[in-house]
C-alpha cells in the first residue's frame, strides 16, 4: 500500500463525513476539528488521520463508509498507519 492510495482513502473519508451534517457535527464534537482544518488537506495529514480515527471509532460509520466506497473494512486501519500519530493512544472500541 503506497502513500497515494492512503491519501485517496483519507480524502474519501473526509468526503464521506462532509456529505452529512450530522456526521460532520459529530466529528467536530469528538475530535475538535473545525471547518478550517479541511482546507489544504494535502499539507495537513493530521486532519486525514483525525477523520480516519473518528471512523475507526464507530463501527456503524466505518461499515457505512466502506460500503459507500466499496472497500474492505480492513483497508481504513491499514491506511491509518500511513498518517501521523498512529499507535499513539489509538484504540478501536
> Which three cell numbers, joined as nine digits, stand for 93?
472500541
> Which three cell numbers, joined as nine digits, stand for 23?
456526521
Backbone CA torsion sign across 81, 70, 4, 16: negative
Question: What averages of pLDDT result for each successive group of 10 residues across the chain (93 residues)?
Answer: 89 95 94 89 88 95 97 94 69 45
pLDDT at 86: 59
Q: How far apart are CA 57 and CA 8, in angstroms?
A: 20
pTM: 0.86
Q: How far apart are CA 69 and CA 16, in angstroms?
A: 9
Q: How far apart are CA 23 and CA 58, in angstroms?
A: 11
Amino acid at each position: 500500500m503506497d502513500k497515494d492510495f492512503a491519501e485517496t482513502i483519507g480524502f474519501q473519508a473526509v468526503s464521506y463525513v462532509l456529505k452529512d451534517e450530522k456526521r460532520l457535527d459529530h466529528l467536530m464534537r469528538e475530535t475538535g476539528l473545525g471547518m478550517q482544518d479541511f482546507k489544504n488537506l494535502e499539507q495537513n495529514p493530521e486532519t486525514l488521520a483525525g477523520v480516519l480515527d473518528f471512523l475507526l471509532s464507530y463501527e456503524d460509520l466505518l461499515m457505512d463508509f466502506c460500503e459507500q466506497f466499496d472497500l474492505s473494512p480492513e483497508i481504513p486501519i491499514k491506511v491509518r498507519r500511513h498518517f501521523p500519530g498512529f499507535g499513539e493512544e489509538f484504540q478501536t472500541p
